[in-house]
Amino acid sequence: MEFFNQLEDGWTIYLWLVAGAAIIIASIVAIRWAAKNDQFDEDIKYVVFDESDKDKMSKEEFDKAMQVNKEQEELRTEVLKREREKKAQNRKAS
């Protein structure tokens, strides 16, 4: 605490500048991560629907929901396949 009392007036602005820069950098990293991981996909809202929701939706919405579900399942299968291959390679390397 004595260290802070020995500093001259105006030092806190530098602390705020460093904190602001850290927040901006963290925000940029978070947005890049979200963009790379399809977090901005507007169609993701359709994943919660299944065949039992057909009577609650218009034909276009239902078709869109089923298409999104199909694409998500294919993506999931591909990601799981890559993870299995990576684990197999790690086991061979060990």
Q: Tell me: do 50 and 89 sit in the same domain.
A: yes
Q: Tell me: do 72 and 30 sit in the same domain.
A: no
Q: Tell me: do 68 and 93 sit in the same domain.
A: yes
Q: Tell me: do 51 and 75 sit in the same domain.
A: yes
Q: What angle do CA 41, 44, 48 make, to 5 degrees?
A: 175
Report the pLDDT value the prediction gives residue 45, as an integer from 0 to 100.
81
Please give the C-alpha separations between residue 28 and each of 6, 16, 37, in angstroms, as whole numbers.
Answer: 35, 18, 14
Q: Tell me: do 34 and 59 sit in the same domain.
A: no
Measured from the Cβ of residue 85, the count of other Cβ atoms closer than 10 Å reads 10
Domain that holds residue 87: 42-94
Report the pLDDT value the prediction gives residue 1, as an integer from 0 to 100.
66
Cα–Cα distance between 57 and 59 in angstroms, integer? 6
Q: Tell me: do 2 and 48 sit in the same domain.
A: no
Report the pLDDT value the prediction gives residue 17, as an integer from 0 to 100.
94
Q: Is 46 exposed, middle or buried (0-12, 13-18, 19+ CB in 10 A)?
A: buried
DSSP 37: T
Q: Tell me: do 10 and 22 sit in the same domain.
A: yes
pLDDT tens over the chain, length 94 residues: 677 777 777 888 888 899 999 999 999 999 999 999 878 878 878 888 888 888 998 999 999 999 999 998 998 999 999 999 999 998 888 7
pTM over 0.75: no
